[in-house]
Chain A
Amino acid sequence: MTIATIDTLPTAVPAELARGRGGGGPAPKRTVVAYGFWIFILSDIVMFSGLFAAYAVLSGNTAGGPTGSELFNLRNVFIETMCLLFSSYTCGLGALSAERRQAGRFLIFAALTFVLGAAFLFIEASEFAGMVEKGAGPSRSGFLSGFFTLVGTHGVHVTSGLIWLIYLVAQVVAKGLRPAVLRRLLCWSLFWHALDIVWVGVFTLVYLMGDFR
């Protein structure tokens, strides 16, 4: 470590310039808002951890019914994963365009994000419908109750994210990219990236571990 980097350590920061850490007044509003939303996202992930634990505990209890490897179609799961990944990417690029006040580019990326999220939901809904049709609904076994609760809760989050996105696009069109709208967009993009992180846990624990067993 050189002398120059030591100078950038927090101890070298004059107290009156370190806003939000005791000197220089409160942190900027968007930092406070996004930090609060970050805490909410972490609590949401803690809620998901309960559902993950329930699924992990119940996944062997098929009660003579179908097992995961008989029900899951990994090709669809891979397409779903790619939809969410690319929608996280377009969401990030959309957030960047919004920060740079490029409303047109933002709307294009928001539309792409919406289409990818809707494609994910469509595949998931048809998977659920197919399973219920085969008699493998949530009431068939403990394994399926845990499966529908965990994956369904994630799907409900994606649905509410899409509704929230429509609402925000309407605000951008009606009010423009002013600071309050930008703060809401920032919270929404945190939410959307967090859903992708939860999905990594879902496809690993539920689909991949369930299928090779």
Chain B
Amino acid sequence: MDGHDHVFDDRTPGVEEHEPTASILSYTAGLGLAILATIGSFVVSQTNLLWPPGIPVGLVVLAFAQIGVHLVFFLHLGSGPDNTNNILALAFGVLIVFLVITGSVWIIANLNANMMPM
């Protein structure tokens, strides 16, 4: 196990292994972007900055942006070949989350629409 072979290993989830000096910067940049996204969400929901019917869409976009910031800057997920396993696991998780949430909302909305009038 000499010095250079670990460069080709899979990336350990949650660790920025190859650039230790870049890591504090990465966490700080992530904190700044996440704070911006959070403030953006609160401002959008409490003001008429966005066209009111578009507010839910704006909030969802900001939430996805913030989750992306957390994944990249705090959990250090990237697109490199050493990250393939981590990203594939995440993609499968996202698929299941999407199926559970949209499936439930869709089915129950249908059931509600077809209820007999009380």
List the A side residues contacting B28 at CB < 8 Å. 89
The answer to whether B74 touches A204 (Cβ under 8 A) is no
Q: Which 10 A-B pairs have the closest CB atoms?
A: A42-B93, A53-B104, A208-B45, A49-B97, A204-B63, A38-B13, A92-B27, A31-B12, A57-B108, A49-B100
Q: A53: which of B20, B67, B100 is its contact (CB, 8 Å)?
A: B100
A24 to B66, CA, bound (A): 38
Task: State A38–B13 Cα separation when bound (angstroms).
Answer: 7
- B93 engages A99 (CB within 8 Å): no
Q: How far is the CA of A86 from the CA of B101 in the complex (A)?
A: 29
Cβ–Cβ contact B104 & A212, under 8 A: no
Residue numbers in B under 8 Å from A190 (CB-CB): 13-14, 75
Partner of B86, one of A35, A86, A200: A35
Docked Cα-Cα span, A196 to B71, in Å, equals: 10
Listed by A's residue number, 19 A-B pairs whose Cβ atoms lie within 8 Å are A9-B81, A13-B8, A18-B9, A27-B9, A31-B10, A31-B12, A35-B10, A53-B104, A78-B38, A85-B38, A92-B27, A186-B14, A189-B14, A190-B13, A190-B75, A204-B41, A208-B44, A208-B45, A209-B59
Q: Can you list, as one digit per residue, whether each of A189-213 has a CB less than 8 Å from chain B (1) or not (0)?
A: 1100110110011011100110110
Beta-carbon contacts of B13-54 to A below 8 Å, as 1s and 0s?
A: 111000010011001101100110010011011100000000
Contacts of A88 in B (CB 8 A): 31, 34, 70, 74
Note all chain B residues with C-beta closer than 8 A to A21: 10
- Closest residue on chain A to residue B101 by CB atoms: A53
Specify which of A45, A56, A193 is in contact with B14 (CB 8 Å cutoff).
A193
- By a CB distance below 8 angstroms, the chain B residues around A52 are 101
Residues of B within 8 A of A (CB): 5-6, 8-15, 20, 23-24, 27-28, 30-31, 34-35, 38, 41-42, 44-46, 55-56, 59-60, 62-63, 66-67, 70-71, 74-75, 81, 85-86, 89-90, 92-93, 96-97, 100-101, 103-105, 108
Do the beta carbons of B31 and A85 come within 8 Å of each other? yes
- Taking a contact as CB atoms under 8 Å apart, the answer to whether A35 and B85 are in contact is yes
Q: How far is the CB of B82 from chain A (nearest CB, A)?
A: 9
How many residue pairs bridge A and B at CB < 8 Å?
A: 151
Quick check: is A107 within 8 A (CB to CB) of the other chain? no
B93: which A residues are within 8 A, CB to CB?
A: 42-43, 45-46
For A194, list chain B residues within 8 Å (CB). 75
Closest residue of chain A to B31 (Cβ to Cβ) is: A89
When C-beta atoms are compared, the residue in chain B nearest to A45 turns out to be: B93
In contact, A200 and B100 (Cβ under 8 angstroms): no
Contacts of B108 in A (CB 8 A): 57
Complex contact A208–B42 (CB within 8 A): yes
Residues on A with beta carbons closer than 8 Å to the beta carbon of B96: 46, 49
Given contacts A45-B93, A85-B35, A100-B20, 9 further A-B contacts (CB under 8 A): A9-B81, A18-B8, A24-B5, A92-B30, A96-B27, A99-B15, A189-B14, A196-B74, A204-B60
Which residue of the partner chain, among A28, A34, A86, A212, contacts B45 with CB atoms under 8 Å? A212
